[in-house]
Amino acid sequence: MDRIAVLIPCWNEALTIRKVVTDFKRELPEAVIYVYDNNSTDDTAAIAREAGAVVRKEYRQGKGNVIRSMFRDIDAECYIMTDGDDTYPAECAREMADMVLSGQADMVVGDRLSSSYFEENKRPFHNSGNVVVRRFINMFWGKNSHDIKDVMTGYRAFSTMFVKTFPILSKGFEIETEMTIHALDKNLLIRNLPVSYRDRPEGSVSKLHTFRDGTRVLRTIFLLYKDYRPLRFFTMASLILALIALLLFIPVFHEYVMTGLVPKLPTLVTSGFFMVSAVVALGIGLVLDTEVKNSRKNLEIQMNIIQMMLKK
């Protein structure tokens, strides 16, 4: 098992990967630097190998697929995840690793938004997108989520407990959002560390598509809210359906009281359909909530087993 593993997922980062590997080797000389090449068409893999990194191949395209393979393949006491585009400072890696190794955190978030991100990042929609995503998570996950300052940062440190209990479902850039929600839902220790951010050097191209990937991130938030908070999700759905049923029913009922007739029978039937749907939605929420609680109990047992193994 490695003491510290630095994980660098890469797709066509030949321009910057040598500097990234060299910087992290300087700051964390005892760490093993892993570069996973995600079907690059340039010399990323060769340059990373020359710089001293352990280079492996991931054929399934997408950052989520790369991280899944990294987390499965590599055993370490502390994992540092960064990008190969030289936008994150290696100088912060030591402090991030110390937080994890000392037990202060299961996930350390490299917080760009409290530092230079809005000045350095030249893509304004990325700036606003980060804010929107954070507000949605704050709204759905409550006050504990305010501990997360930068939801979509690619610079993080993880404990073994986090890595080995994290079920990765995303294939692409939604992975950071999924990590954030997992840590919040499982009540893992989260720390923020403000880090400076520098925009990509000239000639280096971002792989993130603002609107396409932004839509995927928001979709991921809603789907994970349904999975992790099913009672709240389906209760809201039930209330909406019940409200529609009442809005349809009240005029029909008023006319019945006034005339004793129900001339709008289709409206009454539709109202009944919405009310039945509301009851069914609430029932689904109750059943799924029980399943989620049982899943959390099983996870706690798994975490205890992992902790025992780490102590041996």
Sequence ranges of the domains in the chain: 2-228, 230-311
Q: Tens of pLDDT along 50-106?
A: 999 999 999 999 999 999 999 999 999 999 999 999 989 999 999 999 999 999 999
Coil, strand or helix at 115 = coil
What local confidence, expressed as pLDDT, does residue 208 receive?
A: 63
| Domain at 2-228: CATH code | 3.90.550.10
Q: Tens of pLDDT along 182-200?
A: 988 888 999 999 998 877 6
Beta strand 32-37 with 76-81 is: unpaired
- What's the pLDDT band for 201 if we cut at 50, 70, 90? low
Distances in Å between the Cα of 156 and the Cα atoms of 81, 88, 105, 130 are 5, 10, 11, 16
What local confidence, expressed as pLDDT, does residue 287 receive?
A: 95
pLDDT for 143 beyond 70: no
Tell me the β-bridge partners of 7.
34, 81
What local confidence, expressed as pLDDT, does residue 96 receive?
A: 96
- What's the pLDDT band for 298 if we cut at 50, 70, 90? confident
CA 290, CA 299: separation in Å to the nearest integer? 14
pLDDT for 214 beyond 80: no
The DSSP secondary-structure symbol of 200 reads P
What local confidence, expressed as pLDDT, does residue 127 receive?
A: 56
Q: Tens of pLDDT along 6-61?
A: 999 999 999 999 999 999 999 999 999 999 999 999 999 999 999 999 999 999 99
What local confidence, expressed as pLDDT, does residue 144 receive?
A: 62
Written as six digits, the tokens of 85 are 């585009």
What local confidence, expressed as pLDDT, does residue 132 receive?
A: 75
What local confidence, expressed as pLDDT, does residue 145 receive?
A: 57
Q: Which residues of 70-101 are buried (b: 16+ CB within 10 A; e: fewer)?
A: bbeebebebbbbbbbbbbbbbebbeebbebbe
pLDDT for 283 beyond 70: yes
What is the residue-averaged pLDDT of the chain? 86
Share of the chain above pLDDT 90, in %: 54
What local confidence, expressed as pLDDT, does residue 138 receive?
A: 78
CA 42, CA 40: separation in Å to the nearest integer? 6
Q: Tens of pLDDT along 150-160?
A: 888 899 999 99
Query: Closest by alpha carbon to 37, among 68, 72, 13?
Result: 13
Strand order through the sheet with 54-57: 54-57, 32-37, 2-10, 76-81, 156-159, 107-111, 190-194
Higher pLDDT, 249 or 256: 249
Share of the chain above pLDDT 70, in %: 88
Are the CB atoms for 159 and 107 separated by under 8 Å?
yes
* One-letter amino acid of 28: L
- What's the pLDDT band for 225 if we cut at 50, 70, 90? confident
What local confidence, expressed as pLDDT, does residue 282 receive?
A: 95
